Amino acid sequence: MDKITGKKILFTGGCGFIGSNFVRKIYDGNEITIIDNLSGGKEEFLSDLIRAGKIKLVKKDLRKADAFHGLGEFDMAIHLAADSDVRQGAVDHKFSLDTNVIGTFNLLEFMKEKGTKEMIFASTSAVTGDTEILPTPETFGPCLPISSYGASKLACEGFISSYSHYHGIKASIFRFANVVGRNSTHGVIFDFINKLKKNSKELEILGDGTQSKSYIHVDDCVNAMIHIFNETKKTDIVNLGNSEVTSVRKIAETVIEQMGLKGIPMKFTGGPEGRGWKGDIKHAFLSIDKMTSMGWKNRYSSDEAVKKAVQESLQQIMN
Ligand SMILES: NC(=O)c1ccc[n+]([C@@H]2O[C@H](COP(=O)([O-])OP(=O)(O)OC[C@H]3O[C@@H](n4cnc5c(N)ncnc54)[C@H](O)[C@@H]3O)[C@@H](O)[C@H]2O)c1
């Protein structure tokens, strides 16, 4: 059954893009407390549920160990809070360390103290670094991240695994491909729409446009997490992605078409080795064999996910 129910859940980053979609999916039948400092997320994504008392929002910063004081006990933690600004990590390497690694450590200490035994964690394809093994399975190694974001998430995976062993926590660690859909506040689709909203005469594209990545719609991503968490008996890592990739150029064409703009020139920055920025993995394609073998099948392909997400983002950004 693809449901999480009857649990007291501590949800970090619940006001973010993926978090807000996840919370909306499971609030009914669970008792959810969100911790979010609103650095990237928006209270308005969930304001109806907060106002109605269906969920509780605690505005605190995970980088501080006392963020959890007085929150009580929980059956489960869903840990999505992170510095998800991969580009910024190239400039300020410490930001990812503080929010992602220290924040995760603080949460794990709290879970240890309170005896919380279940966890979902959002990791990323960026942990592997550049690889010629595509699609990349969970067993790929050595993982040599090329961004401080990827490095921080790899460290989180390690800490979660060790706390699982010491304290009997069952953790489902999910390595996401690129997640797209409603409530997105960053990423390639969001960028393109906002650039074209400001200037519909040309579209600047970071890199050479041939970067290819696998995209998954946020509805599939959330449903897959629930399904696989229920199927999992012990701590494990599972990739969530799609069986094809979509190029950056194709995303640009989809955005231009959906915005009803024709013949817009695309200006490619070229980028370091054709990447969007230093630290960007040019071809990211996770194997989904394990996800599939655990009984999960996405509703939307990579191209379909992109198209649906463009429509959803246009509705939110242009209105
Ligand atoms: N969006 C993707 O394509 C993608 C891909 C791979 C992994 N992930 C991971 O999934 C998770 C969710 O990503 P998202 O795209 O929804 O990002 P997001 O930025 O929309 O959400 C992150 C949330 O964490 C909160 N947060 C950040 N720092 C915090 C802090 N110090 N204390 C408390 N709250 C804090 C933000 O306010 C935000 O609401 C992240 O862990 C991210 O690394 C996302």
pLDDT at 2 over 90: no
In a domain, 256, yes or no: yes
Do residue 15 and residue 129 come from a single domain? yes
Do residue 193 and residue 281 come from a single domain? yes
233 token code pair: 């008996």
Digit-coded pLDDT (tens) for 278-288: 899 999 999 99
**In this predicted structure, what is the pLDDT of residue 190?**
97
Do residue 109 and residue 33 come from a single domain? yes
Taking residues 295-313, what's their average pLDDT? 98
Percent of the chain with pLDDT over 70: 100
Taking residues 62-89, what's their average pLDDT? 94
User: Which atom of ligand 1 is least distant from the CA of 41?
Assistant: 39
- Domains contained in the chain, number: 2
CATH code of the domain containing 194: 3.90.25.10
CATH code of the domain containing 31: 3.40.50.720
**In this predicted structure, what is the pLDDT of residue 88?**
85
Do residue 79 and residue 106 come from a single domain? yes
Least confident segment among 87-91, 126-130, 170-174: 87-91
Q: Sorting pLDDT into bands at 50, 70 and 90, what band is 95?
A: confident
Beta strand pairing call for 212-213 and 246-247:
antiparallel
Q: Give the residue, out of 15, 17, 160, 313, with the most ligand 1 atoms within 8 A of its beta carbon, to mutate for a pocket test.
A: 17
Do residue 23 and residue 94 come from a single domain? yes
Nearest CA to ligand 1 atom 23: 13
Alpha carbon separation from 255 to 132, 187, 210, 269, 309 (Å, rounded): 29, 13, 16, 18, 10
Mean pLDDT over the full length of the chain: 96
Give residue 207's domain range: 182-213+244-285+300-318
Do residue 276 and residue 170 come from a single domain? no
Q: Sorting pLDDT into bands at 50, 70 and 90, what band is 295?
A: very high
Do residue 188 and residue 168 come from a single domain? no
Q: Sorting pLDDT into bands at 50, 70 and 90, what band is 1?
A: low
In a domain, 72, yes or no: yes
Taking residues 268-273, what's their average pLDDT? 91
| The overall pTM is greater than 0.95 | yes
Do residue 115 and residue 149 come from a single domain? yes
In degrees rounded to 5, what are phi and psi of residue 161? Answer: -60, -45
Do residue 171 and residue 262 come from a single domain? no
239 token code pair: 């990739």
183 pocket-lining for ligand 1 (C-beta < 6 Å)? no
In a domain, 228, yes or no: yes
In a domain, 2, yes or no: no
In a domain, 294, yes or no: no
C-alpha 159/C-alpha 149 separation (Å) is 15
In a domain, 66, yes or no: yes
Do residue 21 and residue 119 come from a single domain? yes
**In this predicted structure, what is the pLDDT of residue 19?**
98
pLDDT at 122 over 70: yes
pLDDT at 68 over 70: yes
In a domain, 291, yes or no: no
Report how far Cα 223 is from the mean position of its chain's Cα atoms.
14
Do residue 159 and residue 199 come from a single domain? no
Taking residues 223-247, what's their average pLDDT? 97
Do residue 93 and residue 186 come from a single domain? no
